[in-house]
């Protein structure tokens, strides 16, 4: 009997020793970083003494590090874990734990657990990994798109903040889903900063009485473990949606024949960066709340602006591309001092030639083209009047 009691007490000790403690970052300064409505959210960080760029992904409950970066840090094997792949079903992946702490600014996010995955498909900001809600719950995350700034805020400073009176308080679960309403019908909406899409009607099953179909759309989605091609429809709703007392109207969204089985939780709508960037957010995952600014810009129709490449000319001698945009609508001009006759030689220091050598002609052409149209890069190298010219983002 005493032996069983000792085993039980040992089990309780181990259980409490392994339980997660809320980190005390009260002495940390607020960490500020830049955000952009056309870009995924990337922050500079380090694990131990190894520097990295990590993407903030509110749509993931698990952090992921690239295979290459994971080999550069000390980590230990934790346990096998189940990862859902919509194409191939359940996969068993290895879960690891970093031996040194993740630091973002003055914030200590402790020894994070992560999955290794290939993240080398020409990510725009040379992303070494992504951090999900498992890490984000250790701090307050504020996204102020009105001023193009993001912040990590200590819990102690957040509690005393008076600006919360200007925000709507809404429940959010660990899967980053909030409740959103259309004409008295409630839906679960995934707030996914790791995606670009405006909004997705999962499984084409949501009935919106005032929905107007605007145009068909073909989209290719690259996920960490697989890729999918979808044919959908861009729709518009005049009445839009409500989040508590906030009215978001009119709204454009994309309807796809998805399957709910692609997600680990029941999701009916999904909002990516093009949705998120129209609002100002404060995420408190530790207490399962998100705050949305009451004074944000709710016009959700500018995503319908049509930027389409009409022709592409390849110059083999210099390995550069010249893009001719439909109706001369070149979205790059909003961020770079680019001319219509410039030939694009490289993006963020990576040349088109290097992309071809790494991925082959067909895949490189698609990756490079998708990168350009995403507008998610800091520098672009062009050939103008026979000379290479580096253009920095404004």
Chain-centroid distance of CA 280 in Å reads: 16
Residue 2 in this model has a pLDDT that exceeds 60? no
Name the residue with higher pLDDT: 264 or 110: 110
Write the pLDDT tens digit of every residue in 273-328.
Answer: 888 988 899 999 999 999 998 875 556 555 555 667 788 889 999 999 998 888 77
Write the pLDDT tens digit of every residue in 234-260.
Answer: 777 777 788 888 887 766 666 665 554
Residue 180 in this model has a pLDDT that exceeds 60? yes
Q: Which range has the worst mean pLDDT, 13-17, 59-63, 275-279, 292-296?
A: 13-17
Q: Which range has the worst mean pLDDT, 82-86, 229-233, 328-332?
A: 82-86
How far apart, in whole angstroms, are the C-alpha atoms of residue 161 and residue 207? 40
Residue 90 in this model has a pLDDT that exceeds 70? no
Name the residue with higher pLDDT: 275 or 336: 336
User: How many CB atoms within 10 Å of residue 191?
Assistant: 26
CA torsion through residues 215, 218, 222, 228, sign: positive
How far apart, in whole angstroms, are the C-alpha atoms of residue 94 and residue 79? 6
Helix intervals (H) in the chain = 2-18, 67-70, 133-136, 155-159, 273-276, 352-359, 361-374
Residue 262 in this model has a pLDDT that exceeds 50? no
Q: Which range has the worst mean pLDDT, 1-5, 94-98, 277-281, 317-321?
A: 1-5
Contact assessment for residue 204 and residue 255, using Cβ atoms and an 8 Å cutoff: yes
Name the residue with higher pLDDT: 259 or 387: 387
- Taking each helix axis from N to C end, the angle separating 361-374 and 352-359, rounded to the nearest 10 degrees, works out to 130
User: How many CB atoms within 10 Å of residue 53?
Assistant: 15
Burial 123-145 (b: 16+ CB within 10 A, else e): bbbbbbbbbbbbbbbbbbbbbbb
Domain pair 16-140 / 157-304, same fold: yes
How far apart, in whole angstroms, are the C-alpha atoms of residue 108 and residue 375? 31
What are the backbone angles phi and psi of residue 234, rounded to the nearest 5°?
Answer: -85, 125
Report strand pairing: 289-293 vs 167-171.
antiparallel
CATH architecture of 16-140: Beta Barrel (2.40)
- DSSP state at residue 277: T
Q: Which residues fall within 8 angstroms of residue 275, CB to CB, at 6 or more apart?
A: 197, 198, 199, 300
Does residue 120 sit in helix, strand or coil? Answer: coil
How far apart, in whole angstroms, are the C-alpha atoms of residue 366 and residue 352? 11
Domain boundaries, the chain: 16-140, 157-304, 309-392
Residue 143 in this model has a pLDDT that exceeds 80? yes
pTM of the model: 0.78
Contact assessment for residue 117 and residue 224, using Cβ atoms and an 8 Å cutoff: yes
How far apart, in whole angstroms, are the C-alpha atoms of residue 332 and residue 327? 14
How far apart, in whole angstroms, are the C-alpha atoms of residue 16 and residue 21? 10
How far apart, in whole angstroms, are the C-alpha atoms of residue 113 and residue 126? 21
Q: What is the mean pLDDT of the chain?
A: 79
How far apart, in whole angstroms, are the C-alpha atoms of residue 202 and residue 260? 7
Name the residue with higher pLDDT: 342 or 248: 342
| CATH number assigned to the domain covering 157-304 | 2.40.70.10
Radius of gyration of the chain (CA): 23
Q: Which residues fall within 8 angstroms of residue 286, CB to CB, at 6 or more apart?
A: 22, 137, 138, 155
Topology (CATH) of 309-392: Pdz3 Domain (2.30.42)
Contact assessment for residue 344 and residue 98, using Cβ atoms and an 8 Å cutoff: no
Structure tokens given for 237: 């709703």
């Amino acid at each position: 009997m005493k032996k069983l009691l000792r085993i039980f007490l040992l089990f309780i000790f181990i259980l409490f020793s392994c339980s997660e403690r809320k980190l005390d970052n009260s002495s940390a300064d607020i960490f500020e970083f830049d955000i952009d409505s056309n870009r995924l959210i990337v922050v500079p960080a380090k694990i131990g003494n190894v520097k990295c760029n990590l993407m903030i992904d509110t749509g993931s409950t698990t952090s992921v590090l690239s295979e290459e970066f994971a080999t550069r840090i000390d980590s230990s094997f934790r346990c096998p874990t189940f990862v859902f792949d919509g194409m191939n079903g359940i996969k068993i992946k290895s879960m690891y734990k970093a031996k040194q702490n993740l630091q973002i600014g003055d914030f200590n996010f402790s020894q994070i657990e992560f999955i290794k995955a290939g993240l080398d498909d020409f990510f725009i900001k040379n992303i070494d990994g992504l951090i999900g809600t498992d890490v984000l719950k250790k701090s307050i995350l504020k996204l102020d798109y009105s001023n193009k700034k993001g912040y990590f805020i200590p819990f102690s400073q957040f509690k005393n903040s008076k600006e919360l009176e200007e925000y709507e308080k809404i429940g959010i679960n660990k899967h980053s889903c909030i409740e959103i309403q259309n004409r008295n019908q409630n839906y679960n909406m995934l707030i996914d900063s790791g995606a670009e899409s405006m909004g997705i009607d999962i499984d084409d099953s949501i009935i919106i009485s005032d929905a107007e179909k605007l145009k068909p759309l073909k989209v290719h989605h690259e996920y960490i473990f697989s890729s999918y091609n979808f044919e959908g429809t861009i729709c518009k709703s005049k009445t839009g949606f409500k989040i508590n007392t906030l009215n978001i109207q009119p709204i454009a969204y994309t309807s796809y024949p998805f399957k709910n089985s692609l997600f680990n939780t029941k999701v009916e709508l999904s909002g990516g960066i093009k949705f998120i960037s129209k609002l100002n957010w404060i995420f408190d995952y530790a207490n399962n709340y998100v705050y949305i600014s009451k004074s944000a810009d709710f016009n959700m129709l500018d995503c319908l602006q049509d930027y389409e490449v009409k022709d592409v000319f390849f110059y083999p001698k210099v390995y550069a591309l010249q893009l001719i945009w439909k109706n001369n609508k070149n979205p790059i001009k909003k961020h770079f001092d680019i001319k219509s006759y410039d030939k694009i030689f490289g993006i963020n220091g990576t040349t088109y030639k290097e992309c071809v050598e790494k991925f082959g002609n067909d895949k490189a052409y698609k990756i490079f083209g998708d990168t350009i149209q995403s507008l998610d890069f800091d520098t672009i190298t062009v050939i103008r009047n026979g000379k290479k010219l580096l253009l920095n983002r404004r």
